[in-house]
Amino acid sequence: MVPQLTLFVKIKRLFGQQSAACDYPFLPQLEKAIGHRFGDPSILVRALSHRSYSSDGQDPPAKDSSNERLEFLGDSVLSLVVNEFLYKRYPDKREGALTKMKSVIVSKAILSHYAKRHNLGSFLLLSENAQRARVGETDSVLADALEAVFGAVFLDGGFEAVRPCIKKLLLSDLEDIFYNEDNINYKSLLQEYIQALHKVPPKYRVSATTGPEHAKEFKVEVVVRGQVLGGGVGKTKKLGEQEAAKMAYKKLLNTSGVGEEA
């Protein structure tokens, strides 16, 4: 399915119209979802423009026509707002615990989950090839787009605008983020954390298989630099890896007291 904003813009191009961003009829729907009305809607359009779209039918593409620079800005804005929120919300927690809590909230896995919840993918501007490849449904693209939206809100309205936006879209669900198992891709979270800490990705290995051929169970271990961080069991290797990642990640979090007073 072609994202509705992409389809609308392509129709405008077909008829040679270069209307202002405020003419796009779908933006108010997104503005309502994120809780900010843009003084300059073109900033929001740029936040929704994937790099594939910036060169699709434009000769030459403008250097700032994709959302990559806004993503860069939004990443920093998001970190500052989340840090401020956690600092005030948890006055008794130490730096290590707050850092790990923040790492969960700003992870690609969590950001993409909330981007999907707010249907952000239907607003993305993508090239035809990217649409066919379903690029707009990938976690990394959705997470990056959400960060770009935060950057756009900051540019348009400053911290007083972006702070409530981030609280509405992410931080109002704080307990859900940490404790709802359905919201968390533990393999993604563990990989982000381990690579930041050790500069190498975690590895998974099947330590044993049990059961008959039609109902096998796979015991999987997650290993970093020869050390086993956790293990899990699943009916497929993928499920076993997810369980192993969950055990390892929760162990790492609890080491610094996330979920406990530290």
The set of catalytic residues is 75, 147
The C-alpha atoms of residue 105 and residue 249 are separated, in whole angstroms, by 14
Q: Radius of gyration of the chain from Cα atoms? A: 21
202 cis-preceded (ω within 30 degrees of 0):
no
Q: DSSP characters for 102-141?
A: HHHHTSHHHHHHHHHHTTGGGG-B--HHHHHTTGGGSHHH
Helix (H) or strand (E) run with residue 226 in it: none
Burial of residue 199 (number of CB atoms within 10 Å: 0-12, 13-18, 19+): exposed
The C-alpha atoms of residue 82 and residue 78 are separated, in whole angstroms, by 6
